Amino acid sequence: MSEGLYEKYFKRVFDFVFAVILLLLTAPILIICATAIKLESKGPILFKQKRIGKNNQEFLIYKFRTMLVETEKDGKALTDTERLTKVGRFLRKTSLDEIPQCINIIKGEMSFIGPRPLPVIYLPYYTDYEIQRHNVKPGISGLAQVNGRNDLPWEERFRYDVEYVNNLSFKLDTQIFIRTIQKVLKRENIQIRGTTNIKDFHIYRQSQGKEGFS
């Protein structure tokens, strides 16, 4: 199978079929997760946020909500660690919070494998090199995720993303998929956003005195 043919036709077919199958197979688990989220804290079951997809197009990503809706208590801002619920911590450790993104895959907005979709606010801060990550559909897992996940500095993470874009193939996707399953089972590199030393990308770039590139 040629790489161009795979990317243009077969990758989409594989994504759609496997997303439907995964949703059907995990339906009982998803119902339990949704019920647990609703019973533990007030708020919606799903977390929705605008992200940047292929060709810099915005879309609404779906994940299970893992944090409290409240952002402050007694007039004091809550950290991400404080907002993380018990159910949410379990969902993140098992990566079950990611399964609703199968809806994005079925809609054609995402793929199983590709650079992780990041918030819209980051868009002005990419270099011309880094923004190449948006030349393909974003994914649930990618080359950066199997090489360090949220532990990686931003520049290194984007280097892996661009490397994936330039080498996209069935073989590479298969390798990433297998390594992703291994990491999920071993629960490796599970980090909570806001609890690591890695700043949000736009804040990181602003701290360098760089107000935007594109």
Mean pLDDT of 20-45: 96
* pLDDT for res 90: 94
Mean pLDDT of 163-186: 93
pLDDT greater at residue 73 or residue 20: 20
Enter the pTM of the model: 0.89
107-142 tens-digit pLDDT: 999 999 999 999 999 999 999 999 999 999 999 999
Identify the three-state secondary structure at position 110.
Answer: coil
- Over residues 196-206, the pLDDT tens digits come to 567 889 888 98
Question: In angstroms, how far is the first alpha carbon of the chain from the final one?
Answer: 36
- 133-171 CB burial, b ≥16 within 10 A, e <16: bbebbbbbbbbbbbbebbebebeebbbbbbbbbeebbbe
pLDDT at 189 over 80: no
Residue 176: enclosing H or E segment and its boundaries? helix 170-186
Choose between 157 and 151: higher pLDDT. 157
Helix (H, G, I), strand (E, B) or coil at 210: coil
Is the CB of residue 166 less than 8 Å from the CB of residue 172?
Answer: no
| Gap between the Cα atoms of 85 and 192, Å rounded | 12
Which pLDDT belongs to residue 214? 47
Q: What is the pLDDT of residues 46-65, one digit of tens each?
A: 999 999 999 999 999 999 99
- Residue with structure tokens 């977390």? 47
Question: Considering the chain, what is the average pLDDT of its residues?
Answer: 90
Q: Which two tokens stand for residue 118?
A: 């990041």
